[in-house]
Amino acid sequence: KVPVGQTYAVSDDDVATDYYRATTFNGSAPGDRTDLKGQDRYYQLWYAHRQVFVRAADVDLHDAQRSPVSSTTPPVISGSAKVGGELAASPGTWSRQVAGFTYQWYVDGTAVSGATESTYRPGVEDLGKSVLVEVTVDDPYFTATSARSAATAPVAPGTFTSAEPPAVTGTPKIGRTLKASPGTWTPSPEKVTYQWLRDGVPVRGATGRTYDLTGHDHGARVAVRVTVSAKAYAQATATSAATRPVTP
């Protein structure tokens, strides 16, 4: 049995020898054959209608060596380092032109599981922590060299965005009840509070979602101020449009 990677010298002879793991060839003339890959299959050589033998000589095989590559300027993170914001990595520059890169994001020095894209959105758990990215060369011809960016500033609280402002529904008439809708926010707030306003001035104790109009409201315009909050997000406030003047 002759292993893969040996050279088989074929010559005209009456001696027959069986062998394994050889390349397939027809034995039409003496010469050297080298097998680099093979299966455990059985072959027998014939030459001029006579069996021939094979003589094996060891051949050293070496894996192809990847070329070295180095980072000339480090990766850079752009974007807003805040909860819910998006950070984007640029790979920096390298000593050779390479096919591509892989990415791994770190928070306070710990690799984030699954964070292997070129972008990263800090989550609630990242509040107050620094983020960096490690970029690794991904090219079959070059070594898998890595480089890291500088760390960001500590991740700041996220910010709410309002797609639809608060609104007041109901008839602005003494004895009637007005109702507030909080509007539409991203992300969805965990807590919503209300403060009713009479001609822009807060009405003492009027902090529910509804407001009963009284004689004190006669002739005034009523609005509601909505404040939303959530863990790791800064509070946000928005005010509805005011009603027409309250009538008797």
Contact 181, 192 (CB under 8 A): no
Question: 3-state SS of the chain: helix, strand, coil percent to 5?
Answer: 0, 45, 55
248 residues of the chain, pLDDT tens digit each = 445 445 445 444 433 333 333 344 444 444 444 443 343 333 444 444 444 444 444 444 445 689 999 999 999 999 999 999 999 999 999 999 999 999 999 999 999 999 999 999 999 999 999 999 999 999 999 999 999 999 999 999 999 999 999 999 999 999 999 999 999 999 999 999 999 999 999 999 999 999 999 999 999 999 999 999 999 999 999 999 999 999 99
For the entire predicted model, the pTM comes to 0.67
Domains (range + CATH), the chain: 7-57 (no CATH), 71-148 (2.60.40.2700), 161-239 (2.60.40.2700)
Q: Given the DSSP bridges, would you call strands 42-44 and 50-51 parallel, antiparallel or unpaired?
A: unpaired
CA dist., res. 96 & res. 145, Å (int): 12
